[in-house]
Chains A and B, each alone.
Chain A
Amino acid sequence: MKKILACIDGIGTLSEAVCDTAAWASATLQAPLSLLHVLDRREFPTEDETSLSGTIGLGARESLLQELAELDAKRAKLVREQGRVMLAAALERAQQDGAFEPTTLQRHDDFVTSLQELQGETRLLILGKGSKGDALGVHIEPTVRALHRPILLTDKALVDPKRFLLAFDGSATSRKALQMVADSPLLKGAACSLVMVGPSTYDTSKELEAAEKLLCDAGFEVDAKLLAGEADEVIIEQLKAQRADLLVMGAYGHSRIRQLLVGSTTSTLVRRSPVPLLLLR
């Protein structure tokens, strides 16, 4: 059975938010919840007490290898214990929240690589927003680009959202996102604000109408809007105006090259959105 994978990295409000959200999602979808913590050695800084003597003597390589291996071993034990404590705390919280069959998993690996390995059995991935003072952090964009699974980014507990905003632009990515929302039981019962940003032409209004019909047929209460302006500005404004609890959108539909030149709406929205995001690829 495919699982809900929630990434835990620490103890605190962010991890609790991830736990709560994950518990809701697993209970709603009746999918087992797996709480994952990844230990990446590259996160370890080098010792402050590093020798700067610049000398290498007899057997320098052998002794250095031994020294570094011992240091890594010591740290690995420490972070593994920390990780277990984190996961135990998260598991307890998830159980209290009534998650469906929660379990924990700890891996020594690169973060994105371990997610890719688990991709086959993942139904939905839940990540905390941001790290190191940036809402996008270092992991979110590569994770979203590397995985082909829905990803829920959150910094606060999302439980039974009343209203979600679906950003639609008529692209292949967003049409796929639309279909996934219509097919999934996750958001059933929530009202949908369908927002399309673009010029009000015959084609765009036709596309919006078709999208609205698809959602209505799936049983959603839909309020569709075609608005002009900068996509990210309009979406942020609408999120606030309509008091949506969640932003749903297709993510990184464009290449890295284009992103380098014109920037990415996805990255901007991850940074600026006041509510959790569900990114669909």
Chain B
Amino acid sequence: MNPSLHYNWFSNIRGDILSGLVVALALIPEAIAFSIIAGVDPKVGLYASFCIAVITAFAGGRPGMISAATGAMALLMVTLVREHGLEYLLAATLLTGIFQIIAGYLHLGSLMRFVSRSVVTGFVNALAILIFMAQLPELIDVTWHVYAMTAAGLFIIYTFPLLTNKIPSPLVCILVLTAVAMALGLDIRTVGDMGELPDALPIFLWPDVPLNLETLWIILPYSLPLAVVGLLESLMTATIVDELTDTPSDKNRECKGQGLANIGAGLFGGMAGCAMIGQSVINVKSGGRTRLSTLIAGVVLLILVVFLDEWVSQIPMAALVAVMIMVSIGTFSWDSLINMRKYPMSTNIVMLVTVVVVVFTHNLAFGVFAGVLLAALFFANKIGQFLFIGKSETAQNEVTYNVVGQVFFSSSDKFIAAFDFKADLDRVVIDLSRAHFWDITAVSALDKVVLKFRREGIEVEVIGMNEASATIVDRFAVHDKPDAIDELMGH
């Protein structure tokens, strides 16, 4: 047998089958809950979870990662579903997939290196908060029965593993709460009240939308953020699974795999999805390592739902809420709160800004964008401090300035301020042998310095520019060209 086939599918059969079963059971409440967030029938989320899990099992780049319908994606499609309906959602899902495949071919996965650890932490925490907030509608304006049921559900989920860890406790929670609700005839909301459940295997359906530009303009503003958020969450989850299992993954293949999965979901009546941090952690924790675990999770999910739809519709929403609260607690990075004391303030600000932007916009892409931008600014500021300019008298009426460090947009003012133009000198030497000029802001700062000295009648010599600095200075600088003054004055 081929080793990649062996390691990707059959190196851990027992662990993968068991973890696949555990994940399938955990995916059902999530898929239903996220369909409800998006405002579509539970079957849309369940079909999506099946398609996405099965397709990423084959096409994804990270074996052992679980992808399905997710909350982050569901939140982005709410207004599209409300204003235009399900068919436009399916079309948007297709377009999302196409964007993601293009991203895979353009190797945009490697852009993830700009996403710092504090942004990832912020993303994960924001995701946990969003999942929790999405449960609140089920807990507002309801009778005390719902609160009691949810509390009992959480109690079962967290205490049952102390009894035995061979049976998934979320399953026990759902079974017990459903039995109690049916036995007591409680008048509380059930999954059946939230919309249609699947009663058959998904079928191939081209979304029923007119194929014209107008449709494109409707779905484009949704597909783009969906594609971005889907890739962000998938690649971050892949990094987390890489770290947990200490094995590598192919990030660009993952982008293409997610795209293919979304196209598949769109064509089989499912909503867009991506990788799930919580479920992937559950999968690894339950012993899942290879593609087989993902495939089993998807297939078992569909079998369970299609054959048990009568029973699934009886599940009280309180049980799902309990499971989702567990997922949100497990997703949240509690370490990040403890670490805030010892991490530098800039790191904490990046994390918090990411969280706050996401919570207010309900769009993880904006949060990540803000976080990355802020992190880059902080970094530029820090690097800008690595600039030192020393001054020494090397001869009668001659001063040598030694520039050490990084000169670029953020440190160019500091660079200019370090020179004393008003001194009574004949000659100035600027030694750049230990400095680096990064951009045209730095180059124009040097120009300014040289010209200012000249206008004071002081002769200037620039020495020791290293090769990298020399290239950029040659290309953009004016001071070493004959018509220097005219050109600079012309501006």
Question: Which A residues are closer than 8 A to B by beta carbons?
Answer: 41-43, 45-47, 50-62, 64-65, 68-69, 72, 111-112, 132, 134, 138-139, 141-142
B479 to chain A, nearest CB (A): 50
Are A52 and B15 in contact, with the CB atoms below 8 A?
no
Selected A-B contacts with CB under 8 Å, 13 pairs:
A42-B11, A52-B165, A52-B167, A53-B167, A54-B25, A54-B168, A55-B161, A56-B329, A57-B326, A64-B284, A64-B285, A68-B284, A134-B1
Query: Which residues of the other chain, A, contact B343 by a CB distance below 8 angstroms?
Result: none
Residues of chain B in range 6-24 having any CB-CB distance to chain A below 8 Å: 6-7, 11-12, 14-15, 18-19, 22-23
Q: A43-B11, A52-B18, A54-B171 are in contact. List 18 more A-B contacts (CB 8 A).
A: A42-B247, A47-B287, A50-B19, A50-B285, A51-B286, A52-B19, A53-B160, A53-B165, A54-B282, A55-B158, A55-B282, A55-B326, A56-B327, A57-B158, A58-B334, A60-B330, A62-B335, A138-B2
Asked, given contacts A54-B25, A59-B334, whether A45 binds B15 with beta carbons under 8 Å apart, the answer is: yes
Asked, given contacts A46-B289, A59-B335, whether A52 binds B22 with beta carbons under 8 Å apart, the answer is: yes
A128 to chain B, nearest CB (A): 16
- Is the C-beta of B230 less than 8 angstroms from some C-beta in chain A? no
Query: Once the chains are docked, how many angstroms separate the CA of A76 from the CA of B19?
Result: 24
- Is the C-beta of B26 less than 8 angstroms from some C-beta in chain A? yes
Q: Of B34-42, B211-219, B238-246, B459-467, which stretch is located at the interface?
A: B238-246
B34 to chain A, nearest CB (A): 17
Q: Mark B227-254, 1 if CB is under 8 A from A, else 0.
A: 0000000000000100111110000000
Query: Which residues of the other chain, A, contact B326 by a CB distance below 8 angstroms?
Result: 55-57
Query: Which residues of the other chain, B, contact A68 by a CB distance below 8 angstroms?
Result: 244-246, 284
Question: Which B residues are closer than 8 A to A by beta carbons?
Answer: 1-4, 6-7, 11-12, 14-15, 18-19, 22-23, 25-26, 157-158, 160-161, 165-171, 240, 243-247, 278, 281-282, 284-287, 289, 326-327, 329-331, 333-335
Are B329 and A54 in contact, with the CB atoms below 8 A?
no
Asked, given contacts A59-B335, A64-B284, whether A52 binds B12 with beta carbons under 8 Å apart, the answer is: no
Classify the secondary structure of B's interface with A: helix
Query: Once the chains are docked, how many angstroms separate the CA of A53 from the CA of B158?
Result: 9
Asked, given contacts A50-B287, A52-B286, A58-B329, whether A112 binds B244 with beta carbons under 8 Å apart, the answer is: no
Query: Which residues of the other chain, B, contact A53 by a CB distance below 8 angstroms?
Result: 160-161, 165, 167-169
Query: Which residues of the other chain, B, contact A139 by a CB distance below 8 angstroms?
Result: 3
Partner of B285 from A43, A51, A59, A142 at Cβ < 8 Å: A51
Query: Which residues of the other chain, B, contact A64 by a CB distance below 8 angstroms?
Result: 244, 281, 284-285
Query: Which residues of the other chain, B, contact A138 by a CB distance below 8 angstroms?
Result: 1-3, 6
Partner of B278 from A46, A56, A62 at Cβ < 8 Å: A56
Query: Which residues of the other chain, A, contact B160 by a CB distance below 8 angstroms?
Result: 53
Query: Which residues of the other chain, A, contact B22 by a CB distance below 8 angstroms?
Result: 52, 54
Query: Which residues of the other chain, B, contact A59 by a CB distance below 8 angstroms?
Result: 333-335
A261 to chain B, nearest CB (A): 16
A74 to chain B, nearest CB (A): 14
Query: Which residues of the other chain, A, contact B284 by a CB distance below 8 angstroms?
Result: 64, 68
Query: Which residues of the other chain, B, contact A56 by a CB distance below 8 angstroms?
Result: 278, 281-282, 285, 326-327, 329-331
Query: Which residues of the other chain, A, contact B161 by a CB distance below 8 angstroms?
Result: 51, 53, 55
Measured CB to CB, the nearest residue on chain B to A59 is B334
Asked, given contacts A54-B286, A61-B240, whether A41 binds B246 with beta carbons under 8 Å apart, the answer is: yes
Query: Once the chains are docked, how many angstroms separate the CA of A206 from the CA of B333?
Result: 74
Are B330 and A57 in contact, with the CB atoms below 8 A?
yes
B368 to chain A, nearest CB (A): 19
